[in-house]
Amino acid sequence: MEDKLEARLLLMDSSPSGRVVESTRRIMYTVSLTLLPAMAISVWVFGWEAVRVLVLAAVFCIGLEALIARFVSYKIDFLDGSALLTGILLAMNLPANAPWWMILVGSLVAIIIGKQVFGGLGQNIFNPALVARVFLLISFPVEMTAWPKPFAGVDAATGATPLGILKTEGVGALAKTNLADLAIGSMGGSLGEISAIALLLGAAYMIYKRYITWEGPVLFIGTVFVFSGIFWLIDPTKYADPMFHILTGGVFLGAFYMATDMVTSPLTFKGRLLFGFGCGLFTIIIRMFGSYPEGVSFAILLMNAMVPLLDKYFPDKKFGMVQNG
């Protein structure tokens, strides 16, 4: 009897009925897939060690989220792809020789402090992967700055990143780096910060899918270029050239994958312009005057904190805000 009644009841809901095929899962997995070229480059440059870091970070992040899902009152879909993406982005920020326990600590920080304490997906103020990177950088400065040299195999000698060399030895020591190597990714560094071209490839697809917009990354990279260019023009013997600055460190990774993170970047057009500009400005300030060689992570985290203000004070134009009535 009850079955029959159930079968005849009509479903009620508020309009609209019907929706796009787009979903949170689809977005998260697609963004993860667009990182494939960059992942491939990191494997090419650093070998199987890169695969190890990627897999461990992804497994730790998803596993931790699954664990937390058992203890919290709200619903967590740990397979929605967001934990996977955080894991991949965290790996992209680590050296290929990162020990497993460091990856675990990073995942713990990313998933718990970076994301779930705020209430989970969509609620976090700071980019979880960057929170983890900065945490590790401050806590384990030795492990986080001993970067394996490109194409050197498993027990490779380690060396500094080009930016590290710039910081410690000055612009003269950079003589041998050439721009093509930097663009492809043949340099020391974390998994994801090395290949600008591979990152650009993935980003182009995301822009096509409208998962990210051009204005944030362009302003970010443009600001780094312009300000480092000004310093370079003032004294080329002391400062590196602007192309060097945008191709090294995490500028491309940061601009296209961190500063465009939907959750932690502004919703409005002007907000995104200012956000990109701020990221670029802080990056250069830290690189030029800070004690760390690299400033992208700190810059983005600083700007993450500004997002609610940017959204509030730089809203998009609304319909009907005219005086012709």
Nearest distance from C-beta of residue 145 to other proteins, angstroms: 33
Q: Which span (24-32, 103-111, 139-147, 292-300) binds other proteins, by CB under 8 A?
A: 24-32
Nearer to other proteins, 289 or 325 (CB): 325
Is residue 318 involved in binding other proteins (CB under 8 A)?
A: yes
Is residue 319 involved in binding other proteins (CB under 8 A)?
A: yes
Query: Which of 5, 11, 142, 175 forms a contact with other proteins (CB under 8 A)?
Result: 11
Nearest distance from C-beta of residue 82 to other proteins, angstroms: 8
Query: Which of 1, 2, 14, 175 forms a contact with other proteins (CB under 8 A)?
Result: 14
Is residue 24 involved in binding other proteins (CB under 8 A)?
A: yes
Is residue 322 involved in binding other proteins (CB under 8 A)?
A: yes
Nearer to other proteins, 129 or 136 (CB): 129
Nearer to other proteins, 158 or 268 (CB): 268
Query: Which of 1, 20, 157, 234 forms a contact with other proteins (CB under 8 A)?
Result: 20
3-state helix/strand/coil string of the chain: CHHHHHHHCCCCCCCCCCCCCCCHHHHHHHHHHHCHHHHHHHHHHHCHHHHHHHHHHHHHHHHHHHHHHCCCCCCCCCCCCHHHHHHHHHHHCCCCCCCHHHHHHHHHHHHHHCCHHHCCCCCCCCCHHHHHHHHHHHHCCCCCCCEECCCCCCCCCEECCHHHHHHHHCHHHHCCCCHHHHHHCCCCCCCCCCCHHHHHHHHHHHHHCCCCCCHHHHHHHHHHHHHHHHHHHHCCCCCCCHHHHHHCCCHHHHHHHHCCCCCCCCCCHHHHHHHHHHHHHHHHHHHHHCCCCCCHHHHHHHHHHHHHHHHHHCCCCCCCCCCCC
Is residue 89 involved in binding other proteins (CB under 8 A)?
A: no
Any idea how long the chain is?
325
Is residue 268 involved in binding other proteins (CB under 8 A)?
A: yes
User: Of 148-187, which residues contact other proteins (CB under 8 A)?
Assistant: none
How far is it, in rounded angstroms, from Cα 261 to Cα 168? 32
Q: Which span (11-19, 45-53, 109-117, 274-282) binds other proteins, by CB under 8 A?
A: 11-19
Binding residues with other proteins: total (CB under 8 A): 45
Structure tokens at 34: 């667009």
Nearest distance from C-beta of residue 119 to other proteins, angstroms: 8
Is residue 291 involved in binding other proteins (CB under 8 A)?
A: no
Structure tokens at 94: 């680590």
Residue at token pair 């802080």: 282
Nearer to other proteins, 45 or 121 (CB): 121
Is residue 234 involved in binding other proteins (CB under 8 A)?
A: no
| Binding positions for other proteins, rule: CB under 8 A | 7-20, 22-24, 26-27, 77, 80, 82, 120-123, 210-211, 262-263, 265, 267-268, 311, 315-325
